A and B are shown apart, each in its own frame.
Chain A
Amino acid sequence: MALLEARGVNVVYEPSRGQRIWSVRDVDITLEKGEFVGLVGESGCGKTTLGYALTRMLRPPARLESGTITFDGVDISTLTGERLRQQRRNGVALVLQSGMNALNPVRTMEHHFGDVLKAHGREGEDLSDGAIKARGTELLGNVRLDSDVLPRYPHELSGGMRQRISIALALALEPRMVVFDEPTTALDVIVQGAVMQTIQDLQREKKFTAILISHDLGIVLEATDRVMVMYGGQIVEEQPSKDLLYGKHHPYTEALLNCYADPRADEIHLGGIPGAPPDLSRPQSGCPFTPRCPLALPICAEEDPPLARLGRGAAACHVRAPATRAAMEVSSVR
Chain B
Amino acid sequence: MSADVDPAAGHVKPSGSSTAQPPAPSGTPPLVLQGVSKTYAVRGRRGALMTAVDEVSFTVAPGASIGLVGASGSGKSTLAKMITGSERPTTGSITFGDIDVGRLRSGGLRTYHTKVQMVFQDPYGALNPLHTVEYTVMRPCQNFLGMSGHKAMERMHELLEIVGLTPSAQYAAKLPHQLSGGQRQRVVIARALACDPALIVADEPVSMLDVSLRAGVLRLLAKLREERGLSLLYITHDLLSARVVTDHILVLNKGRLVEQGPTKQVLQHPQNEYTVQLLDAVANPFAAASAGPA
Contacts and interface: CB of A to CB of B under 8 A. Distances in A.
B7 A254 contact: yes
B11 A263 contact: no
B12, B210, B289 pick with most chain A CB within 10 angstroms: B210
A241 to B, nearest CB: 9
A262 B286 contact: yes
Interface of A: 42-43, 188-193, 196, 215-219, 221-222, 242, 244-249, 251, 254-274, 276, 292-295
A180 to B, nearest CB: 14
A259 B182 CA distance: 15
Given A43-B210, A268-B243, A271-B7, A245 B180 contact: no
Contacts, number: 150
B242 interface: yes
Contacts of A270: 11-12, 214-215, 218, 240, 244
Nearest to B290: A262
Nearest to A219: B283
B215 A262 contact: no
Nearest to A247: B2
B284 A262 contact: yes
Given A254-B2, A269-B13, A261 B281 contact: no
Interface in B112-150: none
B283 A196 contact: yes
Contacts of B267: 263-264
Given A254-B1, A255-B7, A218 B282 contact: yes
B164 to A, nearest CB: 11
Contacts of B239: 263
B86 interface: no
B211, B215, B244, B292 pick with most chain A CB within 10 angstroms: B211
Interface residues on B, range: 35 or more
Give chain A's interface secondary structure class: loop
B11 to A, nearest CB: 4
Contacts of A265: 286
B32 interface: no
A141 B211 CA distance: 34
B71 interface: yes
A245 B237 contact: no
A189 B240 contact: no
Given A192-B281, A247-B2, A264-B267, A269 B289 contact: no
A242 B286 contact: no
A42, A244, A245, A271 pick with most chain B CB within 10 angstroms: A271
Contact of A218 (B1, B9, B214, B284): B284
A215 B8 CA distance: 18
Contacts of B73: 188
A216 B277 CA distance: 19
A255 B6 CA distance: 8
Interface in B1-38: 1-2, 5-9, 11-14
Given A189-B71, A273-B8, A261 B286 contact: yes
A262 B212 contact: no
Contact of B11 (A42, A218, A271, A276): A271
B263 to A, nearest CB: 9
B244 A189 contact: no
Contacts of B268: 264
B214 A259 contact: yes
A43 B237 CA distance: 21
B2 A255 contact: no
Interface in B235-259: 237-240, 242-244
Contacts of A269: 11-13
Contacts of B283: 192-193, 196, 216, 218-219, 221-222
Contacts of B289: 245-246
Contacts of A295: 5
A215, A257, A264, A272 pick with most chain B CB within 10 angstroms: A272
A102 B286 CA distance: 35
A117 B9 CA distance: 54
A188 B72 contact: yes
Interface string B91-112: 0000000000000000000000
A255 B8 contact: yes
B16 to A, nearest CB: 9
B5 A215 contact: no
Interface string B261-294: 0001001100000000111111111111110110
B176 interface: no
